[in-house]
Amino acid sequence: MPDNPKDRSRLLSEIETLKSRLEHYRQSYYLESISLVEDSVYDSLNRQLVTLENELNQSLDTSPTQTVEPERNNKFAKTTHLRPMLSIKDAFDLDEIRAWLNSLERFAGYQLSSDSPLHTEVKLDGLAIALRYSKSSFYQAITRGNGQIGEDVTHSVKTIKNLPLTLDPQLFNRLADEQGRLEIRGEILISKANFDQYNQSLALRGLPLLANPRNAASGSIRQLDPKVATKRPLEIIAYDFGNYLGH
């Protein structure tokens, strides 16, 4: 922390400027499904803010570095997650990857060796979603929201063609919690190939083109009219449980 009041004042000013810029980008990205800057630019600004907040030992709960998504309006009903639905933390260099591996070692209670297997997956760029089932049947879809509370977008999600409306009863009964619920988490997206094909169909009809697959997927689900989602080539890829027996 700087001892000079002028240095501290300058850093505080830089923090407020970065917070304002990042919040503007976040509002556009999450509330309007519009990306104003490249991900690399946003990540760079966010890292600058983290560095300054650490230098001043100042990181408020309302800072963009501490929240998943900005608060939304009352367009959709709000629902509390069965357990927090957090976002993935970034690592940009070997030192940050090593720090992440060290945190895994502390969590697991043993040291990884050079030949320890690691499972990696491609990060999907769409809309994070929690799918809830009761008695083997799908009944609700919730966005990530702020990580604690998300939006109910069931009306649009249930139109997605590859959404399993029912699960195998035996599998469900093995995994469901004590309240008879099972939550599966995943990503709603539009593949690049399907996105290009859909845009071509729009062009042939003289209609405005969609900006990019990520915005198209997110914007389709956040419509009050489910017909929008029905018309677009959306798909769901599941990768995790939100809750299951004993968790």
Domains of the chain (ranges plus CATH)? Answer: 5-73 (1.10.287.610), 127-243 (3.30.470.30)
Which tokens go with 179? 């309240």
Q: Order of strands, edge to edge, in the sheet holding 181-189?
A: 137-143, 127-134, 181-189, 235-243
Report the percentage of the chain scoring pLDDT > 70: 87
To the query of whether residue 75 is one of the catalytic residues in this protein, the response is: no
Question: Does residue 156 surpass a pLDDT of 80?
Answer: yes
Cβ proximity of 181 and 130 under 8 Å: no
The pLDDT, as a whole number, for residue 154 is 96
Tokens of 217: 């997927």
What number is the average pLDDT over the span 57-82? 68
pLDDT at 140 over 90: yes
pLDDT score, position 62: 57
pTM over 0.75: no
Average pLDDT over the chain reads 85
Is the pLDDT at 74 greater than 70, yes or no?
A: no
Confidence tier at 197 by pLDDT (50, 70, 90): very high
Annotated active-site residue in 6, 89, 123, 161: 123
Highest mean pLDDT: which range of 16-25, 151-160, 235-244: 151-160
Torsion of CA 129, 92, 24, 156, to 10 degrees: -10
Q: Which residues pair with 182 in a beta bridge?
A: 133
Cβ distance 141 to 152 under 8 Å? yes
The average pLDDT across 11-17 equals: 85
Q: What is the pLDDT of residue 59?
A: 57
**Rounded mean pLDDT of 48-62?**
72
* Strand-pair partners of 237: 187
Q: In whole angstroms, what is the distance from residue 186 CA to residue 130 CA?
A: 7
What is the predicted pLDDT for the residue at 120?
Answer: 84
Pair 143, 77: CB distance under 8 Å:
no
Q: Report which secondary-structure segment, H or E, holds 188.
A: strand 181-189
Q: Are strands 137-143 and 235-243 parallel, antiparallel or unpaired?
A: unpaired
